[in-house]
A = this chain, B = another copy of it.
Amino acid sequence: MAAVSPLAPERFPEMPAIDGVAVATAAAGIRYAGRTDVLLALLEPGTAVAGVFTKSKCPSAPVDWCRGKLKGGKARALVVNSGNANAFTGKTGVAAVKLTADIASKSAGCKPAEIFLASTGVIGEPLPAEKFSGVMDDLVAAVQPGRWEEAARAIMTTDTFPKGAAAVVRIDGKPVTICGIAKGAGMIAPDMATMLSFVFTDAPLAPAVLQSLLTKGVDDTFNAVTIDGDTSTSDTLLAFATGAAAKRGVAKISRASDPRLEPFRKGFNRVLANLAEQVARDGEGARKLVEVIVQGAATKKAARKIAMSIANSPLVKTAIAGEDANWGRVVMAVGKAGEKADRDKLSIWFGGVRVAHKGARDPGYDEAKVSALMKRPEIELKVDLGLGKGRDRVLTCDLTKEYVAINGDYRS
């Protein structure tokens, strides 16, 4: 077992229960011994669901299942297992997904199409879905509200800490709650890992409103985090809105343009951003959290592309692991992004200290000061292209020998 990431939060946050959501976990023995590996979340009737998924052209069977079932807009249960991703498992995988939904729907008393699924772990091995039948009735009997940390632990693969975040906001002057859990990104030994996240709220939102919030919300949060540039076949982010706050007098929101949605949107995005940052803090072998800010680009889209080019560059990431403010490699990564850039207008900062300016080393730059900043666990790397007003930021971590050890050493 790997040591907890040095970038982990001190503790799992305080997270309130959400009316209409109850969870339980079990050890079904999918792959791991001595730990939980199944999460069941029961959702009260009428719960709206929305989702975003991996852009992989070879998605896992559960991703295909969820995409298909989203059309209904309603969910009654979420079943997540760790240890086996049910990815690249062909017809067996499709059958395993169906069997899981059947088992869960019987135990929960709903339709299979109202069951949402996610799997993370080994790829290419058949998922022994029949094992769920041994635990599902007990899970349904055991569900309780508010057991978020337990839920976050059951979905971990080689994450080094459980990830959760919560926010309470007001709609119509009445409090509504948002709680989310996530598991790590980076593709993790002994096979692939995956980014999974599940966000729950008691706000009364129509499925289309929830989908709009989610689609827009991920752009600057989960989609702005990269560990190694690799993309899982299984990445899944589902959001569930039970609507239970309606009982306390919050009127239903049916349009994404409703101004009553704004405080909720902020809280929802804060939860997504918090979870996404925790994912970056638990990148494989990570010793430093790196915020890459690109400004002065032609457009926000260009800024994102350049920021991703920097954040995914093995040379930038190894330099940061070596605590070296190597702006030459940043120039390289800007240059290879393929977006408009003018060497003679480029400025680069590490930790707020400008090290390069207008096409050359900044003559005023204090190397000792920057060296001290580079020893910190959190590094801000800023680039100004000097061309326009496009700005963006992404989060990543450094590339250490531990990353290679985690991903390459397990056969020895």
Cα A90 to Cα B327 with chains together (Å)? 14
In the complex, what residue of chain B is closest to A334 when comparing beta carbons? B58
Residue A91, interface by CB 8 Å? yes
Chain B residues closer than 8 Å to A135, beta-carbon distance:
none
Assess whether A358 is in contact with B90, with CB atoms less than 8 Å apart.
yes
Assess whether A191 is in contact with B87, with CB atoms less than 8 Å apart.
no
Assess whether B187 is in contact with A315, with CB atoms less than 8 Å apart.
yes
Cα A405 to Cα B402 with chains together (Å)? 11
Assess whether B322 is in contact with A57, with CB atoms less than 8 Å apart.
no
**Proximity bits, A318-347, B CB within 8 Å = 1, else 0:** 111111101111011111111111011010
Chain B residues closer than 8 Å to A401, beta-carbon distance:
401, 404-405, 408
Identical chains in the assembly:
2
**Proximity bits, A90-112, B CB within 8 Å = 1, else 0:** 11110000000000000000000
The answer to whether A356 and B410 touch (CB under 8 A), given A314-B229, A338-B55, is: no
CB distance from A66 to the nearest CB of B (A): 16
Chain B residues closer than 8 Å to A123, beta-carbon distance:
328, 331-332
Stretch at the interface among A6-14, A175-183, A230-238: A230-238
Assess whether A88 is in contact with B356, with CB atoms less than 8 Å apart.
yes
Residue A247, interface by CB 8 Å? no
Cα A312 to Cα B314 with chains together (Å)? 10
Residue A359, interface by CB 8 Å? yes
Q: Which of A278-326 contact B (CB under 8 A)?
A: 312-315, 318-324, 326
Assess whether A88 is in contact with B359, with CB atoms less than 8 Å apart.
yes
Residue A212, interface by CB 8 Å? no
Chain B residues closer than 8 Å to A339, beta-carbon distance:
57
Assess whether B359 is in contact with A318, with CB atoms less than 8 Å apart.
no
Assess whether B326 is in contact with A191, with CB atoms less than 8 Å apart.
yes
Residue A89, interface by CB 8 Å? yes
Chain B residues closer than 8 Å to A54, beta-carbon distance:
335
Residue A146, interface by CB 8 Å? no
Residues of A within 8 A of B (CB): 54-59, 87-93, 122-125, 187, 191-192, 228-233, 312-315, 318-324, 326-329, 331-341, 343-344, 346, 356, 358-361, 398-401, 403-405, 407-412
Besides A90-B358, A231-B332, A401-B408, 15 other CB < 8 A contacts?
Answer: A57-B335, A58-B335, A88-B356, A90-B343, A90-B359, A91-B359, A123-B331, A124-B331, A124-B360, A187-B329, A192-B329, A192-B332, A229-B313, A322-B409, A323-B412
